[in-house]
Amino acid sequence: MTMLRPLPHWLDLALRALICGYAILMAVPLRYHVVQPGLDGSWAYALNAFAAQGVRHGVDVAFTYGPWGYLAFPMPGGPPLWQGLAAQTALWVAYALVLISLAFVRRVGLINLFLFTACVMAGLGAFHNFGYAGPDLFFSFLALLLIGCAVESPRWRHYFAAAVASGAALLLVKLSSGILVLSAVAVFPCAVWFLDRTKARQAAAIAAAAPLLFAAFFLAHAPSAAALGQYLRAGMEITSGYSAVMSEGENGEYLLSALWIALAYGVLTGVLLWQRRASAILALACVGPLFLEFKHSMVRPSGHVFLFFFFSAFAVGLVLLFTRFEKQNWRPLAIAVILMAAALYPRLGHMFGHSALVHAGGLRVLAGWQAAASGAEAASQAALKANSLPAGLLARLDGHTFSIFPWEITWAAPQLQNYRPFPVFQSYQAYTAALDEWNARFLRDSARGPEFLVVDWQAIDRRHPMLDVPATHLAMFQNYRAAGRFGSHLLLQRMAAPRYQQLRSLGIHKIRRGQPFRAPPSQHPLIARVRLTPSLTGRLRNLFYRLADVQILLSGEDGTGISARVPPGVLSGGIPLNFTASDLDSFQSILSGQAVASTDGMELFGDGLESFAEDVLIEVLELPELRLPQPPPPDPGPEAGTVSTLRFEWINQRGSSQYGAKETITIPAADRFLTLSGYAYDAAPVARGSAVYIEMDGKLRPAEYGLPSHGISIVLGKPELELCGFRWTTPLWRLPAGPHVFRIVLISPGGQRHYVSEETIRLQVQ
């Protein structure tokens, strides 16, 4: 017996048609894209281009999206747009047919349809608000809907088999989406076991077909068992390393909201279990997908966090769609639903302002897909032309194989037939030792490795493009030389023979976590293989949540320093200790055999370091066949006087005026670094100098010069002084005991003479 009095038949049909039609129109997932350069636009273009060029996933490349991923975001440069639109239309039609069947054949309650539609409306952003994601999320949602249909339907085997096939197919669209669905598939037989053991055994047998279906789908695309294994290994490496490397931004308020939603969902599931309702099976099956979306969302909350909230709305909507509302024991269920709504509404209430008609615009795309294809092609060509490589560089590449580092694949569009992608073709995702080594082997392989590399100095999340992939960087250093500079692009050419053949171990050192390490003296290039072992706490954090960042500082005696966030898993690939590039200019100098500022100290720090064991092993290796050219000592020219236009403004982010006229300034050891910054310019005539040095105890150390000068240009009315700021940083462990005296030295614009600051500061470490 239902809770509500039956409605007249005609009114019941009308309301069902209205609600069901709205839920169908609202979720239209159809979309195509215009080619756009940039981090995300580049990989989306690449996957479409790979599908058109026959690049094989698991053999040639690996990414979070698989060989069928292009169907989720079709664009010019790949297979015809109609293929992607046809696949998306098929998913939408399947969703519509399932919903119509539930509404008019199985006749689920009107209250169920209404609550389901409200939840889909709240989660609608998952299909439309996340760039190229959307159709793959819709496919996941459809698979969970099919699992819901399998809870009580007499034809449950068909629905469940369709869900299993969907999960297997999704592994080729996006590996993480396939895992999400298959986690629900795996739980379904376990949950059914407590109600119907015969059905549970049959469901387990059907679920066991998922690996076979996936293998069949993949081998139809690339008939190679080795490629299948490599595709899975690489995909799992990318997926498992995500929460250990890609964490960025604060998520405190979002985490509290997510935990509140998880608690409310737990209460709802508990009530369904207590009342032995069949929909409890679906509620339990959705726990795995919700957990995976939680992990995905909380790693990078600024861009992904609402995925969990949207997916929570879907899960609740699906559970309520298949929950019978009856007069008996309805109060606990009502309380659980109200609690769930109270948890979701603060984050998703704004979605109720969205109209289904807005998203039904996808139907217009389908109706006019030929015109859409022409418009997308024209817009894509315009975008590629506006962001193309220089003509001279394209001429050098003509007729030669080449690759692009670190990620802008759209530059390859004019000569796509000669482009050879890195296996992990956007290097920021090669964040485990296995993935980094796969890219390195590609460069070392004389048969597969490209003749040229186009290198730009780009990184994300305060990372360093070469320290991101140290094994790949060493393979570049070993096999390529600088062949020309074209603006921000450095062209590398493969050498006839490798630069070196052997590595000689100088020993293994054990240090404590957070302790600085100094390399042994050597005139040869040195490499440090750093092995961090995750602690039990770290493993649990990585499994259930995310790891904080780990950072590295490479420093030299003269204050030379390179600081960056690093993926902890790649450090065993070999960090260059005394020949690390700080920018594209120094990287070009290293590959050209020129001297650069040397570093000999390494320090790991950051909150993420607490997730690793106390002991850190560092193996130092030497390249005995090579010698490092030594830069000449600085020659500032004759002194031209002491001036007041050289000023220290900040000492470790504290204004120097805060210290007053203290004879000796004390720097707390907890600061870890000493950073001196300020401004420096030539007074006669007023102009920027050519370089700045920090004089510490009479010895010159180069400072970074040409930084914003904190308003000096405005105060003096001299725009030419806008970039006369300097900054110098050194780790405190490099400062010997006792006080130290610092002055600023400015080299004149022509470099013939130097000035010394009137201001002198005296510092010591506490």
Which residues, other chains included, contact 355 with Cβ-Cβ below 8 Å and sequence gap of 6+? none
Alpha-carbon gap, residue 761 to 612, rounded angstroms = 39
pLDDT (tens digit, 9 = 90+) per residue, 644-667? 899 999 998 788 776 666 678 888
Per-residue pLDDT, averaged over 231-257, amounts to 89
Which residues, other chains included, contact 702 with Cβ-Cβ below 8 Å and sequence gap of 6+? 558, 559, 560, 597, 634, 691, 692, 693, 728
| Percent above pLDDT 70 for the chain | 96
Per-residue pLDDT, averaged over 297-310, amounts to 86
How do the domains of the chain map onto residue ranges? 18-238+252-359, 402-632, 639-765
Phi, psi angle pair for 7, to nearest 5°:
-90, 160
535 and 612 Cβ atoms separated by less than 8 Å = yes
Using 50, 70 and 90 to split pLDDT, how confident is the model at 2? very low
Q: Say yes or no to pLDDT of 308 above 60.
A: yes
Q: Say yes or no to pLDDT of 361 above 80.
A: no
Alpha-carbon gap, residue 455 to 480, rounded angstroms = 11
Query: Would you list the DSSP string of 512-535?
Result: ETT--EEPPP-SS-EEEEEE--B-
Q: What is the pLDDT of residue 130?
A: 81
pLDDT (tens digit, 9 = 90+) per residue, 321-357? 999 887 777 889 999 999 999 999 888 877 665 554 4
Per-residue pLDDT, averaged over 676-692, amounts to 89
Q: Which of 239-243, 629-633, 692-696 has the highest mean pLDDT?
A: 692-696
Q: Say yes or no to pLDDT of 292 above 50.
A: yes
Per-residue pLDDT, averaged over 219-231, amounts to 89
- Reduce the DSSP state of residue 633 to 3 states and report it: coil
Q: What is the pLDDT of residue 186?
A: 97
Per-residue pLDDT, averaged over 246-263, amounts to 89
pLDDT (tens digit, 9 = 90+) per residue, 713-733? 888 888 889 899 998 888 898
Using 50, 70 and 90 to split pLDDT, how confident is the model at 261? very high
- CATH, domain range 639-765: 2.60.40.10
pLDDT (tens digit, 9 = 90+) per residue, 426-464? 999 999 999 999 999 999 999 999 999 999 999 999 999
Using 50, 70 and 90 to split pLDDT, how confident is the model at 641? confident
Q: What pTM value is reported for the model?
A: 0.90
| Mean of the per-residue pLDDT values of the chain | 91
Using 50, 70 and 90 to split pLDDT, how confident is the model at 392? very high
Q: What is the pLDDT of residue 1?
A: 36
Q: Say yes or no to pLDDT of 203 above 90.
A: yes
Q: What is the pLDDT of residue 304?
A: 82
Buried-state track 421-459, b at ≥16 Cβ within 10 A, e below 16: bbbbbbbbbbbbbbbbbbbbebbbeeeebbbbbbbbbbb
Per-residue pLDDT, averaged over 501-530, amounts to 94
